[in-house]
Amino acid sequence: MGYNYKEFGIGLDVSYQRGYTNVQRQLNHVGANINFIYNYSPYIPVTAELQFGTLSGGGLLPKEDRYGREYTNNYEALLVHADFQLGEVIDYSQSDWLSALKNFYFGTGAGFVFNNVTVQRYSIYRPAPPDPAAYIFPGSNSSINLAIPLRFGYEFKLYNYFNEPYIAIDLGYVHNLVFGEGLDGYDDPSSKFKNNATNQYRQILIGVKFYFGNITSFNKLIRRF
């Protein structure tokens, strides 16, 4: 006992998230992730993740956005990522300190963000449409963007009677790089407005995983006695 782990898992994360777009002010929101996990080893989980969340920012006052832009994005995302925990490579068998470090992880992957944006589309500092002097901010209210998550965190493993990990609690930070202009719905030319940075959003998350399925053996003790 102590060498075995279950091959699959399901999980749920709750996240505190914020966008980083070309809109000046960004607001925080609570989101959720549903995960299906394949454990390549007890320290290398490969996860298919479905996200549901909201990003928003801007405002109609100059201090909120200097151009009067405002957006709300009720998005979904589908990503596949792998995490690498230090226990895969370090020898923690004789050290309490290294045993505590073994569950730190970093990881990355790729996927897509499906944007559904409500946006202030015309400048409030010019006449409103249909006046020919009106300025309409270009962009799309619905789009799909490629995303790459950069993941860091710590996993607390809980063990059953057979000393197998059967539940895990994750504390993590995820920074998602999003390629395209879909997060805030604005695609303004950089010659007129600041529009020169990759869209991003971050998640500070806590999650729980439940393991099940086939029993597989690892090449060293998972739980140190």
The CATH number of residue 163's host domain is: 2.40.160.20
Q: Bridge-partner residues for 16, per DSSP?
A: 30, 204
Q: Is residue 187 part of a domain?
A: yes
Q: Is residue 107 part of a domain?
A: yes
Of 19, 25, 22, 18, the closest CA to residue 63 belongs to 25
∠ Cα 114 120 124 (to 5°): 160
Reply yes or no on whether the pLDDT at 98 is more than 80: yes
Contact (CB, 8 A) for 45 and 82: yes
Q: Is residue 224 part of a domain?
A: no
Rounded to whole angstroms, how far apart are CA atoms 88 and 43?
5
Domain count, the chain: 1
Burial class (CB in 10 A: 0-12, 13-18, 19+), 150: middle
Lowest mean pLDDT among 118-127, 131-140, 142-151, 185-194: 185-194
The pLDDT assigned to 133 comes to: 74
Where does the chain have alpha helices with state H? 96-101
This prediction's pTM: 0.91
The pLDDT assigned to 45 comes to: 98
Domain extent for 155: 4-217
Q: Is residue 222 part of a domain?
A: no
